[in-house]
């Protein structure tokens, strides 16, 4: 009995190699022949991973979410800034879109008859829309403001979660430096300052280059396309030099010292000012196309 049992594996091997006639289902080791094809079928049925959008494709998604702000008086430009479309809704007189920017960018106390306009740049065309300030924060702790533009429905930026900003994350800044058309600069999150009480970010820094007039511009994640923060300002270093016995000086932006209001502060601002509903509706409004309005 023992000799037969020990010789059985060798006998099966010889029979298999010689391609002998098939045995009965009771004697054939079925698992050996059926498992491999099943594993191949599972491997072939796995879905392909979704490719990450290119930088160019992501920028195309981000740019339409941003606008240019201009304050004029007597037909002359007095101030320029940037803004991000943060919400849209149906108003009593038609659709309404809301733009987020800085409070210091829409300060008009020194102007007698100011006119605030939102400029929408679309390739070779620029459209102007009248805007009104509906909410402002206290500078410098909460340097945010909300504008309302009636008669339009614009694509809306998706706000990042409170804990999403992380140092080293690739970002793009969409802004209108020096009052010109929208431009893009790239960099990364260089620092996130956390509030010890709320456990939320209270300030974000980036090394992406910006210029005067970029206040209110959006800092977007290059990976997700979500709005990480709103540019508030940048730290500068004064450079002095002498030419022909005359002294000159100018300010140079310091790399990594562009600071911004993170998504947590934006979310708190909207809720505190009674516009928390925009956060709920922004996802539904995302992707809506621009519409013209009579107030220009």
| Of 132 and 13, more confident | 132
pLDDT at 2: 44
pLDDT at 236: 61
**In sequence order, which residues have a C-beta less than 8 Å from that of residue 121 and are 6 or more positions away?**
67, 68, 181, 182
Q: Is residue 243 part of a domain?
A: yes
Distance between CA atoms of 178 and 83, rounded to whole angstroms?
14
Residue 136 pLDDT more than 70? Answer: yes
State the average pLDDT over residues 203-221.
Answer: 92
State the average pLDDT over residues 93-122.
Answer: 93
Q: Is residue 224 part of a domain?
A: yes
Q: Is residue 122 part of a domain?
A: yes
For residue 114, the enclosing domain spans 55-285
Q: Is residue 296 part of a domain?
A: no
pLDDT at 37: 55
pLDDT at 266: 97
Tokens at residue 269, please?
A: 């601002």
Q: Cis peptide leading into 203, omega within 30 of 0?
A: no
Q: 139-183: per-residue pLDDT in tens?
A: 888 999 999 999 999 999 999 999 899 999 999 999 998 888 899
Q: 34-78: per-residue pLDDT in tens?
A: 555 555 555 556 667 777 889 899 999 999 999 999 999 998 999
Residues 85/67, Cβ–Cβ less than 8 Å:
yes
| Number of domains making up the chain | 1
Q: Is residue 91 part of a domain?
A: yes
Residues 63/84, Cβ–Cβ less than 8 Å:
no
Q: 230-289: per-residue pLDDT in tens?
A: 999 876 667 777 787 788 776 666 666 899 999 999 999 999 999 999 998 654 444 444
Per-residue pLDDT band at 16 (split at 50, 70, 90) = very low
Q: Is residue 41 part of a domain?
A: no
What's 234's domain CATH number? 2.40.10.120
pLDDT at 65: 96
Q: Is residue 196 part of a domain?
A: yes
pTM greater than 0.85: no
Q: Is residue 272 part of a domain?
A: yes
Per-residue pLDDT band at 27 (split at 50, 70, 90) = low
């Amino acid at each position: 009995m023992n000799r037969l049992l020990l010789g059985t594996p060798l006998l099966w091997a010889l029979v298999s190699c010689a391609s002998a006639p098939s045995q009965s289902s009771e004697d054939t080791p079925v698992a050996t022949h059926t498992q491999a094809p099943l594993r191949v079928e599972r491997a072939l049925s796995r879905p392909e991973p979704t490719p990450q959008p290119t930088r160019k494709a992501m920028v195309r998604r981000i740019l339409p979410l941003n606008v240019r702000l201009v304050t004029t008086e007597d037909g002359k430009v007095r101030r320029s800034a940037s803004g991000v479309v943060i919400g849209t809704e149906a108003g009593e007189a038609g659709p309404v879109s809301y733009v987020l920017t800085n409070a210091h960018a829409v300060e008009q106390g020194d102007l007698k008859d100011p006119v605030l306009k939102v400029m929408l740049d679309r390739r070779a065309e620029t459209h102007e829309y009248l805007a009104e300030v509906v909410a402002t924060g206290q500078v410098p702790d909460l340097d945010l403001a909300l504008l309302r533009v009636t008669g339009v429905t614009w694509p809306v930026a998706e706000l990042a979660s409170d804990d999403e900003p992380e140092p080293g994350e690739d970002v793009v800044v969409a802004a209108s430096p020096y009052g010109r058309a929208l431009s893009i600069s790239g960099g990364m999150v260089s620092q996130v300052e956390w509030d010890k009480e709320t456990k939320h970010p209270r300030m974000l820094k980036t090394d992406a280059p910006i210029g005067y007039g970029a206040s209110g511009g959006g800092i977007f994640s290059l990976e997700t396309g979500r709005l990480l923060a709103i540019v508030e300002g940048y730290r500068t270093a004064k450079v002095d030099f002498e030419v022909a016995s005359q002294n000159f000086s100018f300010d140079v932006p310091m790399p990594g010292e562009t600071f911004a209001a993170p998504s947590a502060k934006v979310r708190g601002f909207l809720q505190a000012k009674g516009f928390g509903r925009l956060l709920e509706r922004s996802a539904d409004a995302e992707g809506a196309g621009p519409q013209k309005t009579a107030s220009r």
